[in-house]
Amino acid sequence: MSVTSGSRFIHAEWALLPDGWRQANLFEVDSSGCILSVGSSLNKASDAQLDVVIPGMINVHSHAFQRRLVGRTQRFSKPNDDFWSWRTQMYAEVDGLTPQDQRVGALELYREMVANGYTTVCEFQYAHGAVSRDNAEIPALMADSLIGASKEAGIRQLLLPVLYQQAGIGEQPPTKDQRSFVLDTRVYLGLMDHLFETYGSEASVSIGYAPHSLRAVGYDALSDLIDHRQDNSPDSPLHIHVSEQVREVNECILGTGKRPIEWLYQNFSPNSSWVFIHSTHASRDELNMIIKSGATVGLCPSTEGDLGDGAFPLAEFIQSKGTFGIGTDSNVIVSPVDELRFIDYQARIRARKRNAFAFDGLIGSGTRLYQKALEGGRKASGQPVGRLESGSFFDLVELTTDHPLTADRSPDEVLNAYVYSGGKDVIKSVWMGGKPVG
């Protein structure tokens, strides 16, 4: 039974805390779903008993509508099929997307994310449906549809409405295919005001800023966005696509004389609330800028692999104390362990050795990689998630010890089995805010 009015006490036989594994844990969780205290459960009553628990993963980058492309793009079209040819198919898919379509698709996707162990999603929303770029009504409905879907699915959300205005660096006018993405700066900022006013007090929803990329947003519009953020919500996360493609980097050098990340640091002041999505082709100097400023890199291995983007130098980045999170991006895959497995194996292939990240042997490589992705996700979301500690939301994944992959193993080995060999079949339950989902 509960001892404190409005609180629940939940026992976890093993829990992955910020400082490592601990046995016999008692979590006190308040009515809002926040952890009040973490203590010993020995000889104490509890309202629920869990086995091996880990913080739920944060998905730092999702385009919900792109899940509709799954199965439709995996066909040879031409010898140089790449990101840019895939983008043409993506444009066709978003044309005519309605708020109702968006909600139905997002609900299905978010439920799948929860089933796979994501408890927070950062939704990079640029399917505004804005045939008229002067009208914010449809973009607001598109945003509402995503928030409604996340609430119904039981996943926490950082909604990132996207500013998108041009077809390339140098203020190239948007194409007809891009009409669903484009908003005037005034309308975009009005949309942000509406969302902050409507959802600003909700625990399961937060709002952040997202200039799409340097190819889609010019200097003046980006300056206006950053000024609005500084005046209204300076701590809100700011996410931006950057250096995903070699062509994008080359066009930026031709148009500005600088590489994309280099240009951003020269003209603005990215800090720990900024998230650079992809950064696949960042230079060593640019990665050092990111690390020094405390910004986070958002990696989307399954999408980056699917589109042939390239491989981020994660081993070197980790060794230099860089912070990263993982995202599903186009949602061709929605499992956090698939993303982690992919980036680890990618690093091993590059290094031609197993311990490519040079982790110590105190805990498993899967555990260490999972922890690092949690910390980057926490920063990227701007929310108290990704840790089982006082002041954070009680969002967690309970792993089963009855599966052939996890039976007769230590909790650390259970998590390693989940990361390297398992999936949602190893998940026993998912909790958000102190309550089981589903």
- Residues belonging to the active site: 278, 329
- Name residues whose C-beta falls within 8 Å of residue 114's C-beta, 6 or more positions apart in sequence: 153, 154, 155, 430, 432, 437, 438
Tell me the helix, strand and coil percentages in the chain, rounded to 5.
40, 20, 40
Cα atoms found within 13 Å of the Cα of residue 270, Cβ hemisphere only: 30
Token pair belonging to 291: 């690390």
Please say whether the beta carbons of 7 and 31 come within 8 A: yes
Beta strand pairing call for 156-163 and 118-125: parallel
Please say whether the beta carbons of 202 and 148 come within 8 A: no
Listed residue (405, 389, 398) closest to 119, CA to CA: 398
Q: Which residues of 160-186 are buried (b: 16+ CB within 10 A; e: fewer)?
A: bbbbbbbbbbeeeebeeebbbbbbbbe
Sign of CA dihedral 416, 421, 423, 425: negative
Alpha-helical (H) ranges within 116-245 are 137-153, 185-199, 219-232
CA distances (Å), origin 27, targets 313, 343, 430: 38, 33, 16
Beta strand pairing call for 20-29 and 35-40: antiparallel
